[in-house]
Amino acid sequence: MNDFSPALLQALSGLKSLVVLAAGSPLRGDDAAGLLTAEELEKHRPALPAAPALHIFFGETAPENFTGSIRALAPSHVLLIDAADMGQAPGYYRVLNPGPSAGAPGSTHKMPMQVLVDYIHKTIGSKVVIVGIQPGDTRFGSPVCPAVTAAVATLAADIAGVIKASAQVGPDVHTQAIAPFADRR
């Protein structure tokens, strides 16, 4: 595990079930980083343990539209992955503290991320963990830069490693993806 993994492992302590909620616009270059990370995480699914339960939602620019489905699952943790301007080089990623700066300034999302984080925590009771990925170019129609492409593959592997490290034995637990990003290109 690298330096990121221990921080994520600590943030996901007590993990029983996990919803990954990926946000971003597939039309705005590096803003798709969260979606691409979730897509990469899907590739790790066959090697992941059955427990903790894993559910992946591709929220795009309106991740709040999945709160009803998340509520029905009542996960112990929600991992929100999104592009976030942290003043770093493109592709840099880290666990962010929920707060007014969570999510990218000039966000492409219909609802401010902090409102979504607060809503999930207060109404569902899940611990919300945010992972931000530094974008480079988020202009409409721009391609994803090579640094972000490389970072999402590494980040997905890091998340899969943390899920394996957090694995708990549980009865009849399954994994599932909702609205796969790859199917909507």
Residue 180, C-beta contacts closer than 8 angstroms, at least 6 positions apart: 39, 42, 58
Are residues 91 and 151 in contact, defined by beta-carbon separation less than 8 angstroms?
Answer: yes
Are residues 93 and 134 in contact, defined by beta-carbon separation less than 8 angstroms?
Answer: yes
The pLDDT, as a whole number, for residue 123 is 85
Residue 161, C-beta contacts closer than 8 angstroms, at least 6 positions apart: 1, 5
Distance between CA 91 and CA 1 in Å, rounded?
Answer: 18
The two structure tokens encoding residue 68: 């009803």
Name the residue among 167, 121, 139, 146 with its Cα closest to residue 21: 121
What structural domains and CATH numbers belong to the chain?
4-184 (3.40.50.1450)
Per-residue pLDDT of the chain (185 residues; tens, 9 = 90+): 457 888 888 888 888 889 999 999 999 999 999 999 999 999 998 888 777 788 999 988 878 878 888 889 999 999 999 999 989 999 999 998 765 444 444 445 555 678 888 888 888 888 899 999 999 999 999 999 999 999 999 999 999 988 888 874 333 333 444 443 333 32
- Please report how many Cα atoms fall inside a 13 Å half-sphere around the Cα of residue 104, on the Cβ side: 30
- Cα pseudo-dihedral 99, 101, 106, 110, rounded to 10: -10
Distance between CA 168 and CA 144 in Å, rounded?
Answer: 36
| AA identity, residue 182 | A
